[in-house]
């Protein structure tokens, strides 16, 4: 072949490739713009005031009011759906080898979305106000593990706590109450902003550690960042509601980072196990990870690290909040008996013609979950990846709980993106997709 | 502590790679697909259920407005007993904030026809009271015959 014909062939090959590359860049930019526009739309509309999508809250972000229209389901659900499609598109683009979503773009987009949601009102749940109330209780001599916010006399934020929770003692671990205590020091606005900043920092830590773990395990960290950080349920629900699940996931990823480090030492593994225990002392759900870690490593250091962290955490919890503050199993049990219309259990009940979930259904679901966890434990014993098993465990809890909240489906996501078993990632994203489609049911007919 | 692992017998030591597997992987994948399909079908069924429930409740509200000749916006509608096809709709008898005036409540059953349902009974409630049997009065139709109101 002559040189001229070789050059011509190269040109003919590279032109379509170049055009396709430019198209991909344009598409990625378009999808990114959709995500940003969606977040801005939701935040500005939510700032207008209370709707079923926006909990009743004080006007701590009044500078945003006046730009949007009241956020109803007729705006929120289509926006959520469009954002989910844009997210799926960006994930697919990021999976391509010659992806235009390079690190700076991904980090910039993720940071922008997080800041937009952070600046806005509390979205989709009033848990933040309940948590501010628990902090006030703890600082004013009322044990939040014995009494609900209604026991706090003269508390100005009382009216923003959901009526469902005013008599409920805190279901969270003592470490969360401890790190949230500053929310009770100042006024209500200071408390709200403190918990919002806490959630933002936890989210940033989760994403940074996910990035690091992905690189450590030989995965593309940009793809991992895109999958977790742009996820609509992660951004709008978990961060939008400033949920403490983000603190749990940050500690979870901290534990994973320490344990999977290339130069693992006994001290690092002990610290990793301690981080997982700390996460479980924020939200007991993460306790499911510990058996997988211990069975996988089979080193004394992990057991010692976990025991020391548990002893210290429970000791501090006992001193501050008494026996009620360290009864994590009872806290889990209390919430486990609630039923949300979001849960797959409720949907299964409707499929079988039942009006709702009954105690026998609870027992069947718990039994099924135990079987799955035991099977995973056996797999880990035989060499299966403990990180993946932990992800399956968290996904199993989210699917089987009768008290499913949208942000619970985010728990396994940081583990799924660093798992060598890609089935976990597909399963987690599929569950989220099913959940989002289910949420859009009011769009398909009249609403009373 | 690092010597602990080395002292473990072979069957107890941690394994870097899981043994066995292709058949188990296939079985697990099939189970996961089946579970995913069940959840997808369950969700689709729930969407249809939810849409049909909403249609029924909208028809309940329309029926209340048609039956009472009051075109009010705030009309409640919900099943009288969860899971049963008899619904209850209540709203103010005269203009005012929701629940601040005496209420007219009507019971409905049967399919939606022409956007409306069949009225089978009802009762009145005093202003600012919940719909409890002790508060119900002027009961008629199924409200009276099915002992949903206080006797006398």
CA dihedral A153, A157, A161, A167 (to 10 degrees): -10
* Residues paired with B92 in a beta bridge: B103
Please state the pTM of the whole predicted model: 0.86
Q: Do B39 and A431 touch (CB under 8 A)?
A: yes
From the number of C-beta atoms within 10 Å of its C-beta (0-12, 13-18, 19+), residue A252 rates as buried
pLDDT number for residue A101: 65
Task: Report yes or no for ipTM above 0.95.
Answer: no
CA distance B140 to A277: 62
Q: What is the pLDDT along chain A (448 residues), one digit of tens a residue?
A: 455 555 555 555 566 666 667 788 889 999 999 999 999 999 999 988 888 888 888 887 778 877 878 888 889 999 999 999 999 999 999 887 556 667 888 899 999 999 999 999 999 888 999 999 999 999 988 999 998 888 887 777 888 888 888 888 898 999 999 999 999 998 889 999 999 999 999 999 999 999 999 999 999 999 999 999 999 999 999 999 999 999 999 999 999 999 998 667 888 999 999 999 999 999 999 999 999 999 998 888 899 999 999 999 999 999 999 888 888 777 777 777 788 878 899 888 888 888 788 888 888 999 999 999 999 999 999 889 999 999 999 999 999 998 888 999 999 999 999 999 999 999 999 999 999 999 888 888 777 7
A350 three-class SS = helix
CA distance A418 to B126: 61
Can you read off the two tokens belonging to residue A6? 């070789």
Residues recorded for chain A: 448
The pairing of beta strand B103-113 with beta strand B76-79: unpaired
In chain A, which residues have their Cβ closer than 8 Å to the Cβ of B112?
none
Residue identified by tokens 């995500």 is A35
pLDDT number for residue A416: 97
A322 three-class SS = coil
In chain B, which residues have their Cβ closer than 8 Å to the Cβ of A300?
1, 4
* Residues with Cβ within 8 Å of residue A229, at least 6 apart in sequence: A106, A109, A110, A113, A114, A207, A235
Interface residue B87 vs chain A (CB under 8 A): no
Q: Where do the DSSP E strands lie in B31-136? A: 76-79, 87-92, 103-113, 116-125
* Residues paired with B119 in a beta bridge: B108
In B40-59, the residues whose Cβ lies within 8 Å of chain A are 40-43, 45-47, 49-52, 54-55, 57-58
Number of helices followed by number of strands (H, E) in chain B: 3, 5
Tell me the shortest Cα–Cα distance from B143 to chain A, in angstroms: 23
Q: Which residues in chain B show pLDDT less than 70?
A: 1-20, 83, 151-152
Q: H helices of A283-327, where? A: 289-297, 300-321
CA distance A228 to A221: 11
Give the distance from CA A61 to its chain's centroid. 24
Helix (H) or strand (E) holding B141: strand B137-141
Q: Do B46 and A441 touch (CB under 8 A)?
A: yes
Chains A, B: CB contacts within 8 A come to 96
Chain B: residue whose CA lies nearest to A435: B43
Using the CB atoms, write b or e for A253-277: b if 16+ within 10 Å.
bbbbbbbbeeebebebbbbbbbbbb
Test mutation, B17, B29, B50, B88, chain A, max A CBs within 10 A: B50
In chain A, which residues have their Cβ closer than 8 Å to the Cβ of B8?
298
Residue identified by tokens 């600082």 is A139
pLDDT number for residue A232: 96
pLDDT number for residue A1: 45
Of B2, B4, B32, the CB nearest to A423: B32
CB A272 within 8 A of CB A302: yes
pLDDT number for residue A156: 79
In chain A, which residues have their Cβ closer than 8 Å to the Cβ of B14?
296-298, 383
Q: Do A448 and B15 touch (CB under 8 A)?
A: no
Q: Where are the domains of chain B?
A: 39-145
Of A298, A399, A435, the CB nearest to B14: A298
The pairing of beta strand B87-92 with beta strand B116-125: unpaired
Can you read off the two tokens belonging to residue A394? 């968290």
Q: Where do the DSSP E strands lie in A140-242? A: none
Interface residue B14 vs chain A (CB under 8 A): yes
pLDDT number for residue B12: 67
Can you read off the two tokens belonging to residue A68? 């949007």
Q: Do A298 and B39 touch (CB under 8 A)?
A: no
Q: Do B16 and A383 touch (CB under 8 A)?
A: yes
Test mutation, B47, B53, B62, B79, chain A, max A CBs within 10 A: B47
Interface residue A446 vs chain B (CB under 8 A): yes
pLDDT number for residue A102: 78
Can you read off the two tokens belonging to residue A375? 């099977």
CA angle, residues B52, B55, B61, in degrees to nearest 5: 145
DSSP-derived secondary structure letter, A54:
B
Angle of the A3-46 helix axis to the A103-119 helix axis, nearest 10: 10
CA distance A344 to A381: 30
Q: Do A448 and B8 touch (CB under 8 A)?
A: no
Q: Do A382 and B18 touch (CB under 8 A)?
A: yes
CB A86 within 8 A of CB A34: yes
Q: Where are the domains of chain A?
A: 16-444
The upper half-sphere exposure of residue B50, i.e. CA atoms within 13 Å in the direction of its Cβ, equals 20
In B15-34, the residues whose Cβ lies within 8 Å of chain A are 15-20, 28-29, 32
End-to-end CA distance of chain B: 82
Chain B: residue whose CA lies nearest to A265: B2
Of B19, B46, B51, the CB nearest to A347: B46
CB A329 within 8 A of CB B39: no
Q: H helices of A159-187, where? A: 174-179
Tell me the shortest Cα–Cα distance from A381 to chain B, in angstroms: 7
Chain A: residue whose CA lies nearest to B62: A448
Residue A376: which of B6, B4, B31 has the closest Cα?
B31
């Amino acid at each position: 072949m002559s040189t001229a014909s070789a050059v011509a062939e190269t040109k003919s090959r590279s032109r379509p490739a170049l055009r396709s590359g430019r198209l991909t860049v344009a598409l990625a930019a378009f999808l990114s713009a959709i995500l940003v526009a969606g977040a801005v739309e939701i935040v500005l509309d939510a700032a207008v005031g209370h709707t079923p999508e926006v909990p009743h809250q004080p006007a701590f972000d009044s500078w945003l009011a006046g730009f949007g229209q009241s956020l109803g389901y007729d705006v929120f659900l289509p926006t959520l759906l469009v954002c989910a499609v844009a997210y799926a598109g960006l994930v697919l683009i990021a999976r391509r080898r010659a992806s235009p979503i390079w690190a700076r773009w991904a980090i910039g987009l993720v940071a922008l979305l997080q800041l937009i949601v952070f600046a806005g009102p509390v979205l989709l749940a009033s848990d933040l106000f309940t948590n501010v109330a628990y902090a006030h209780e703890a600082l004013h001599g009322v044990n939040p593990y014995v009494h609900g916010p209604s026991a706090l006399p003269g508390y100005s934020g009382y009216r923003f706590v959901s009526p469902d929770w005013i008599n409920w003692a805190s279901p969270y671990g003592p470490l969360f109450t401890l790190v949230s205590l500053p929310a009770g020091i100042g006024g209500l606005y200071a408390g709200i902003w403190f918990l919002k900043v806490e959630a933002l920092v936890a989210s940033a830590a989760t994403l940074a550690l996910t990035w690091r773990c992905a690189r450590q395990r030989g995965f593309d960290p940009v793809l991992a960042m895109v999958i977790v950080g742009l996820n609509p349920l992660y951004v709008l629900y978990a961060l939008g509601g400033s949920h403490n699940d983000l603190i749990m996931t940050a500690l979870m990823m901290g534990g994973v980072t320490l344990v999977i480090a290339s130069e693992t030492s006994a001290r690092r593994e002990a610290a990793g196990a301690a981080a997982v225990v700390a996460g479980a002392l924020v939200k007991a759900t993460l306790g499911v990870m510990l058996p997988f870690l211990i069975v996988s490593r089979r080193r004394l250091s992990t057991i010692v690290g976990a025991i020391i962290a548990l002893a210290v955490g429970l000791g501090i919890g006992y001193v501050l909040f008494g026996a009620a503050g360290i009864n994590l199993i009872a806290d889990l049990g209390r919430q486990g008996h609630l039923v949300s219309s979001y849960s797959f259990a409720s949907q299964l009940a409707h499929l079988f013609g039942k009006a709702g979930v009954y105690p026998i259904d609870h027992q069947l679901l718990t039994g099924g979950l135990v079987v799955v966890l035991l099977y995973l434990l056996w797999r880990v014993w035989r060499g299966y990846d403990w990180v993946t098993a932990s992800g399956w465990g968290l996904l199993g809890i989210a699917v089987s709980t009768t008290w499913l909240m949208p942000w619970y489906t985010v728990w396994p996501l940081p583990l799924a993106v660093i798992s060598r078993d890609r089935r976990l990632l597909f399963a987690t994203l599929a569950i989220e997709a099913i959940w989002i489609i289910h949420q859009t049911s009011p769009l398909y007919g009249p609403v009373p | 502590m690092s010597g602990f692992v080395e002292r473990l017998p072979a069957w107890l030591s941690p394994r870097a790679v899981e043994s066995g597997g292709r058949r188990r992987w296939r079985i697990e994948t099939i189970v996961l697909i089946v579970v995913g399909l069940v959840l997808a079908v369950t969700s689709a069924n729930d969407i249809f259920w939810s849409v049909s429930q909403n249609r029924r409740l909208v028809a309940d509200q329309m029926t209340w407005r048609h039956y009472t000749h009051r075109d009010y916006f705030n009309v409640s509608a919900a099943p009288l007993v969860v899971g049963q096809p008899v619904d209850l709709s209540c709203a103010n008898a005269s203009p005012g904030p929701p629940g601040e005036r005496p209420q007219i409540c009507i019971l409905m059953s049967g399919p939606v026809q022409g956007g409306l349902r069949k009225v089978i009974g009802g009762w009145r409630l005093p202003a600012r009271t919940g719909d409890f049997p002790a508060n119900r009065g002027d009961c008629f139709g199924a409200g009276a015959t099915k002992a949903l109101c206080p006797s006398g």
